[in-house]
């Protein structure tokens, strides 16, 4: 335990138990505003800090009118490590590459850190230059982070100090494929993930490939053969199942605000049926409050605003392939909802606190 961590625990032990205090570093982005919304309705979190350096001093309600009724006069704070000192949980919702410098500055001075970015998800530091193009500046911390996918690694997350919350693309693929590999019903090599994602997954700052005129009435595949989330998908499945896997991951950008649909394929290890692999999914996710397994083909709209994953599966007797389809809301179960679920586990709260299983429709 670091000296800072010891000081934090000593300081907290002298203070009577109260509602856990929370902070958001990077609250002005899409995952940040979703965290603001969720914490506003959380029964056990007290928001003390919401930083947004590019928007510091601006009223939250002016940037996001949807939050005006709750955050009437609150403004975005500027960030400094001292401002988070003593908080029980800090959500880091920053672009890739930024958390790598922020986390070492605040680690140990707060109770728990939930990083929503990809900076600490991969265990092997050699994978960062290969897939992200840069050496990791804090490689020693990679082994200290717990991978934050509660349905697969709940016991490791409970009470953890450092949590790297799973990304939206990865979560969708892993929810579909991990049960199949774990049960040994598909070959671990040559798994295919064909994924469609909404534009909010690219973040709030404008980019040439996410402007309205580029995205509207257009579907584009990107990251062909080299998408940076590929090793994370493989790592998560391998960590849960113990099987070495290889995945071909191809994401597609679709003209919708939010949502992910992943159609995943594997070759069966032996003769099987749709009924058998649906039962594999049901058994794997038995009693999971945020997982819906059924025969109906999942849709992104069915998960809108909810912390749920919808799954189904088929076996094609003509090609012999197993197909598993998963849908979720990329800003909820794929990001901020996942982060709250991780924080609940880390803090010893009800895992479902502040998270809805009910989607918004139409």
Q: Is 82 helix (H, G, I), strand (E, B) or coil?
A: helix
Answer yes or no: are the C-beta atoms of 159 and 176 closer than 8 Å.
no
- Taking the C-alpha atoms of residue 346 and residue 98, their distance in angstroms, rounded to an integer, is 23
Planar angle of CA 85, 86, 87, nearest 5 degrees: 100
Residue that the structure tokens 């071909």 belong to: 248
- Taking the C-alpha atoms of residue 280 and residue 246, their distance in angstroms, rounded to an integer, is 21
CB neighbour class for 227 (10 Å; exposed up to 12, middle 13-18, buried from 19):
buried
Answer yes or no: are the C-beta atoms of 342 and 354 closer than 8 Å.
no
Q: Is 227 helix (H, G, I), strand (E, B) or coil?
A: coil
Answer yes or no: are the C-beta atoms of 42 and 340 closer than 8 Å.
yes
Query: Which residue numbers are catalytic?
Result: 168
Using only C-alpha atoms, the chain has a radius of gyration, in whole angstroms, of 20
Q: Alpha carbon of 218 to those of 97, 215, 266: distances in Å?
A: 29, 5, 28
């Amino acid at each position: 335990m670091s000296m800072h961590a010891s000081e934090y625990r000593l300081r907290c032990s002298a203070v009577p138990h109260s509602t856990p205090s929370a902070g958001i570093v990077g609250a002005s982005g899409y995952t940040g505003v979703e965290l603001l919304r969720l914490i506003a309705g959380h029964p056990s979190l007290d928001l003390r800090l919401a930083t947004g350096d590019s928007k510091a001093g601006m009223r939250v309600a002016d940037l996001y009118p949807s939050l005006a009724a709750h955050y009437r006069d609150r403004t975005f704070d500027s960030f400094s490590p001292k401002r988070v000192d003593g908080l029980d949980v800090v959500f880091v919702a920053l672009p890739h590459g930024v958390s790598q410098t922020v986390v070492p500055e605040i680690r140990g001075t707060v109770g728990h850190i939930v990083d929503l970015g990809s900076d600490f998800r991969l265990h092997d530091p050699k994978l960062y230059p290969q897939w992200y193009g840069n050496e990791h500046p804090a490689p020693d911390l990679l082994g200290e982070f717990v991978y934050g996918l509660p349905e697969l690694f709940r016991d490791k997350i409970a009470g953890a100090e450092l949590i790297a919350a799973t990304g939206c693309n990865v979560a969708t693929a892993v929810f579909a494929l991990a049960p199949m590999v774990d049960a040994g019903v598909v070959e671990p090599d040559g798994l295919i993930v064909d994924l469609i994602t909404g534009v909010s997954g690219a973040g709030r700052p404008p980019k040439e490939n996410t402007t309205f005129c580029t995205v509207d009435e257009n579907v584009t595949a990107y990251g062909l053969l080299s998408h940076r989330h590929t090793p994370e998908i493989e790592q998560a499945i391998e960590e849960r199942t113990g099987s070495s896997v290889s995945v071909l991951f191809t994401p597609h950008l679709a003209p919708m605000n939010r949502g992910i649909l992943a159609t995943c394929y594997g070759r069966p290890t032996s003769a099987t049926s749709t009924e058998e692999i649906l039962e594999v999914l049901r058994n794997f996710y038995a009693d999971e409050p945020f997982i819906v397994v059924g025969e109906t083909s999942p849709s992104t709209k069915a998960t809108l605003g909810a912390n749920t994953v919808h799954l189904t599966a088929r076996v094609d007797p003509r090609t012999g392939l197993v197909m598993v389809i998963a849908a979720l809301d990329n800003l909820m179960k794929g990001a901020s909802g996942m982060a709250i679920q991780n924080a609940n586990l880390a803090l010893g709260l009800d895992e479902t606190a502040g998270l809805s299983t009910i989607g918004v429709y139409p």
